[in-house]
Structure 1
Amino acid sequence: MIKYLFLFLVFFISCEEKTQNISDIPNGDKLYDEGIALLQKNDLEAYKKFQLAISYYSKQKDYSNISKSLICQAIAQQGRGDIFGAEATLVEALKIMKDNDESLFSIYDTMANLKLDQKEYTKAIEWYNKALSQKIESEESRISILNNKSVATFKLGKYSEALNILQKIDLTKVLDIKLNNRIKENIEFVRWLKNKNYPAQGKLEELAKLKLKNFDFWGLNSSFAHLSDINKASDTQKSLYFAKKMLEIARKNKSPEDRLEAIERIILVDNPTNSKDYFNQYKILADSIQSSRNDYRARFAYIKYDTEKKDAENQSLKLKDAENKIDILYRNIGITALVLALFGGSFYYVKRKNRLQQEKEIEVKNTQLKMSKKVHDVVANGLYHMMIDVQNNPEMDKTRILNDIEKMYEESRDISHENIAEKDFALRFINMITSYSSDTQKVLPVGYKENIWENISYNTQLEIYYILREILVNMRKHSHAKLASVKFEKDSNKLKIRYTDNGIGINDLDQQRGTGIHNTENRIENIGGHITFEKNPSGGLIILITIPI
């Protein structure tokens, strides 16, 4: 009898769900349309609308519309810098999308754009090729994908191949004037990249005027970036002028990322006397962007979690209501047992979901901490180090300043990528140490030789670089030391570094371990080394570092 009661219960709930689904259909479409209207205006509210639409479509098992909503969510996340979250959303869409779904090209195109944002150009091209292999809704969409593919191609230095892609585009079929101008500009810029004597500036300026006439301020931002680039080597004043115009348009567009890029260009060509102000602007803006991205990443995650939680609660209430109706009809032990079984299943589901959510939050938090640590080491300490270098060496030549800026710029751009060994690392390392010396504070390297890095991996070299820079930054900020030394000793098994200063030292070391000390200890642990902090008997601090070879 329990078997038949169970079949009746399933039938009853199924009928009720079908009735509910019919009334839900227009609600899902309405929420989706509202999300489309909000996209690029208010990404957070748009994301919320799409999440609610997904809830309705899920009840109908409408996987096509679910995947479309997920694609739009990924675009919203991309707009707010949540790149990893956007990738995860697209993977979720791919899992439920059928091979012949008409939106498949859109997933591939969006994933390619994410890879382009991350400067993973080879992977971006692979995804663009996948998109181009699908049925595309319009010719202009196909041309837009080809244009973006050419960008990834010339970023790899394949200028002839990129130009070939662009020149095969039939511009008479591009009715969108903004896209038309963008393609023309890319053709001129790639021609210049291929041949630096090519007179691209006049045509680029004409295209910039057309963009201004058509109120294409986002496209105008790109024009000023290209014009700044082509003048960087030949006419720094023109390059500076266009970089400042780019900064002006970026402010008008309310795009902090473009403002950051414009400031980078300004620093590279401006008078060194103005560098400190722009350094400060760069640091403040970079910190603000990172903070905003972290905030939006958390808010997107909360919207998804909150909506799914409410869906689970609503579903649980519907099941409970169905159980109560059946209990009124049959009132027997079989139904009671079934209710208990359903409660047990619901409890297991909620418990498992909470565990998975906690694991996900921990993973996100660990990733944020890792990236925050990298930003602190590469950008924050790098900026502080450069400011010290400029202060200690007021007569420093412009070439050295520009080289240091370009090195830090490359490190900050490649912060999430693998390191590639550099030939001048030994010289950069000793220059970093000696740059902390000034008339009032001396830093002496002892026993340092260029061949000291033999048989030591580049990853370990970089870690030691960041560790010593962290120590010297803290010495500069807090120690009040007049003299500090960094002594190097190496044998076949290990490298020893002994740092000594005559400053105020650290009282109650165990209770006053700040972020800098924790970062240093974590880095040493990651490369299998050992570090100790001791009081200097004659006043100050001694730090002993041992690295296995």
Structure 2
Amino acid sequence: MKKTLLLCVFILITMGCSKKQPRKVGILVKDPDYIKAKSLFSKNKDSAFYYFNKVATSSRDSLSTAFAYNYMAWIQNYAGDNFGSQESLLASLKFLDERNPKHLSCLSSNYNELGSTSFNLKNYDAAIFYYDSARRYTNDKEDLITNANNIGLVYQEKRNYNRAIKIFSGILLQSKETPKIYARILTNLSYTKWLQNPAYNPEPELRKALSIREAENDEWGLNSSYAHLADYYTSRNISAALFYAKKMHHIAVKLDSPDDQLEALQKLIQLSPQTDTRRYFTIYHKLSDSLQTARNTAKNQFALIRYEAQKSKSENLQLQKENTIKRYQIFARELLILGIALFSICAFVFAVIWFKRRKRLMEISARNALRDSQLKTSKKVHDVVANGLYRVMTEIGNRPGIDKEEVLDRIETLYEKSRDISYENPNNLKNFNEVISELLISFATEDTKILIAGNNSALWKNVSDTIKYELEHILQELLVNMKKHSQATNVALKFEHDKDRINIYYTDNGVGMPNGVQENNGIRNTGNRIATVGGAIIFDTKVEKGLKIQITFPNP
């Protein structure tokens, strides 16, 4: 009788030790159905299953689909539907690639769940195979220890106590850094030794594990410790056994674990005085019936889904067989209609895209034209108004006796130029050598001497008005920069005609440009101007002092 009782207790405890706890596995998925399912997982597993199923059947991401099936399998296992759980796990494996590092955690979880369902179905050899497979896909120390513990429990269930003890002993020291896991291994090791040898005293280790779990507030672990201590004391101290059975029932209710509640109630029925036995039996009976009904309902739900899917598939095949000829006749008409529809849609889409593209190109062209116009206007304002005013200011400052009327004429000329600034055609510049000479001399002062060579009318005979217009403003820009920045006392400009080009050499003894040419607005405009007429401006900054510039442009 005692041996039969011990065997029953052993089976119940083994089931309790293998009970599944909250999962660690998971990934960051943005799918709203997946997020919804995860939020419901610990609250309403039926609803969570529904949303995970939506992900599994609609997601285009293989890893999201695999994890959805994994969670569905866990829910089915929790509901007692082990075969349905295995089916979901095998479906999950189809979406995983062991060569992809991101898939390894799900692979490990799948094989661990397959080990759990095989254990529940008492297929212990398969359970060991799957637990071993799970270890291949993880490097996490805690996962490896947990997998080894699961294998040890399988050998315990097979009553291969020596093998189980060897496994538990091998991982006990490895788990010491993690108190919760250490307490679990210590409990399983001492309990297995007691199962192997009823004369062995596991009480010190069981109480040590209990103390660790109390310190860690490990409620699932406390549930296990209370169960083991109640079993150990059953044949030694009824009062102590009853005490731990009550504590187990209390925490099982708190954890909302019906299996643990039933196990605790079985202990209470066996250990309690006869006056309490009937009450505990009534509670046990109601809870057992309720749990069995709920699990049967869940199993029937999963079975109904599979049945409806299979039935729908069979009916469709039969319907296809009966209507093959009719569907073939309709096919050509439907194909024609579909072709026309697709052509119309494609034509419409093409027209919309073409129109939008044409509109976008027109907008870009308009923006570019506006920007070019603004740049031209900006350049004219800089060259005509700003540099012109600076030239007048220079003459006023360097010629005390300058005629007032002459100044007013100059300003009026600038005014007229500013009014006509939007016109594109350059002025018709005659006697250009005199225009240049007058421009250069206007920047000469008592402190700054300007020497001019080669500026004669023959030089400019074949030069177009456009080039003359640009060149006047280029020279004006150079002299304005000289006046503002160079501190030069001697400036020389030499003009020469070399075959089909005209070269202008500018030299001053100012501070020069030791750090290279600076891209200010004036210098940039100067470069742009000479480039528009096919010329170039070259700054020689290697001289020790002063500045040398060469301006060259074609003269056909």
Give the TM interval when normalised to the shorter protein: 0.3 to 0.5
Greater RCO (CA < 8 Å, at least 6 residues apart) = 1
TM-score by length of 1: 0.48
TM-score by length of 2: 0.47
Q: Whose radius of gyration is greater, 1 or 2?
A: 2
